[in-house]
Structure 1
Amino acid sequence: MKTLVLMASPRKKGNTFQILDKFLEEAKILEEETKTIWLYDKEIKPCIACRNCQKDHSIFGCIYKDDVEEIFNEILKSDLIILATPIYSWYSTAPLKALLDRLVYGMNKYYGEERGPSLWKEKKIAIISTCGYPVEKGFDLFEEGIKRYAKHSQLIYLGSLVEHDRGYKSVFMDEEKEKREREFARKIYKK
């Protein structure tokens, strides 16, 4: 299975990276092919809902010439998309939110004069996240949003793994978290 990780943390060694790293280590053990795109390293302009992307149902078709078409093409080559993000104000970081807005139009050709297909129909999607609030109070809105997004886009939502950060003075990564990350990878890849 080809996995594309959309990494939406601004910190290359932060908490979200630490849990993603254990997930990717397990994916490697399971001999899964993975690719990670760091969204903070990409130019991702915000969607303006111009619907130019709806004119041709076979291409991305966005008016912007930034890095999103490259990401679009990587998604089309993938079987599984992992959204890896810390939670900021009850949702993903800004680059991931901007990308999701662009993809909902560019991938789903539902909004033009003629209703078209979902170009990523039946691809799998999952979330790996970190949250400063207790998970049940900080992550739930983002997960619900992604569940609805997946249903709308005809994606297969596989679930989420989210870890709580207890604060700047605490040690984030521990053996229990590492165990959960590895178990999540095995669940996702069903091995």
Structure 2
Amino acid sequence: MKFIAFNGSPSGADSSTNVITEAFLRGAAKAGANTENIFLIDKKIEYCKGCFACWFKTPGKCVLQDDMKKLLDKYNEADIVCFASPVYTWNMTAVLKNFVDRLIPLKSPLIINSGGEFDLVDSKPKTQQFVVISNCGFPGNNNFKTMKAVFASCNPVLEIYRSCGKLLKNKDAKIGAAVNQYLHVVEQAGYELAKQNHISEKTKSNLDMQLMSIPDYVKYIGMQFA
């Protein structure tokens, strides 16, 4: 089984998002999965021009010559595709959004009408399952509403949303103990998905564990309630 994470954090390997992603992939690897963590900020990915040549002139192939061709090959090889991004203004980062926009060659100009809801036919049968990983530096799961709505279209088998994300790289022993406990659960989620193709309800529930009280966290990030 192949797990590939496409990490859209501008901070790349040094990001808090990557702390979660690495734990998830580590668990998958322990279950025997082949894993890869790709930092999109390090890749040359031009903006989609909306020319639709990949549909009508060169089906499945983009006219732009950059790193996206190899990334599409990796995407197609994966059994589990993980989209990873911090929350930037309620949504995924521009880095990840640009990558997602460039997935358009995977669609075709054939339209499906399903009860008045319209979508495009995949150019090839979609075999991947999808995972979403995101962290936010503020408290509250409301910060992930837009992210959840955007990724609902790919019907993810697992969504890991971590509020109070600034704690993930903290070196304080007490905070670190809570973070390590959380990352162990994330690792378990990766292990379960690779081993049995689903996540237990206990693990899903534990993914929402609180790392610090909200009042304490607001103080920790140097802010205050209005």
TM-score range, shorter chain: 0.7 to 0.9
Deviations 1:78-107 (A, max 9, x none): 11100111111111111210111111x211
TM-score, normalising length: structure 1: 0.83
Q: Is the 8 A contact 2:3 2:28 kept in 1?
A: no
**TM-aligned CA deviation for residue 117 of structure 1:** 3.5
For residues 157 and 140 of structure 2, the distance between their equivalents in structure 1, rounded to whole angstroms, comes to: 18
Give the match for residue 32 of structure 1.
Answer: 33
CA gap of 1:117–1:167, structure 2 versus 1, over 3 A, is closer
Q: How far apart, in 1, do the equivalents of 2:151 and 2:89 lie?
A: 15
Deviation at 1:135, TM superposition (A): 4.4
1:101–1:111 Cα change, 3 Å: farther
Residue 131, structure 1, aligned to residue 136, structure 2 = yes
Larger radius of gyration: 2
* CA root-mean-square deviation: 2.5
Change (3 A) 1:139 1:50: same
Residue 95 of structure 1 aligns to a residue in which SS? helix
**CA offsets, 1:124-161, max 9 Å, x none?**
1111111123342211211211112x1xxxxx521211
Pair 36,167 (structure 1): closer, same or farther in 2 beyond 3 Å: closer
Contact 1:6/1:37, CA 8 A, preserved across alignment: yes
Shift of 1:118: 3.5
Q: Which runs of 4+ in 1 moved over 4 A?
A: none
Provide the C-alpha distance between the structure 1 equivalents of 2:137 and 2:131, rounded to a whole number of angstroms: 20
Instruction: Determine whether 1:165 maps to 2:170.
Output: no
> Match of 2:116?
none
Structure 1 unaligned blocks of 5 or more: 151-155
Number of equivalences? 181
- Mapped contact 1:129–1:162 kept (Cα < 8 A): yes
Equivalent position of 2:71 in the other structure = 71
User: What is the SS of the residue equivalent to 1:110?
Assistant: strand
Q: Aligned pair 1:182/2:183, yes or no?
A: no
Say whether the 8 Å CA contact 1:22–1:181 is kept in structure 2: yes
| Alignment pair present for 1:5 and 2:5 | yes
Three-state SS of the structure 1 residue aligned to 2:108 is: coil
TM-score, structure 2 as length reference: 0.71
| Cα deviations by residue, 1:2-54 (Å, 9 ceiling, x for unpaired) | 11110111222221111112112211211110112110000111112110000
Alpha-carbon distance in 2 for matches of 1:181, 1:158: 14
| % identity of equivalent residues | 23
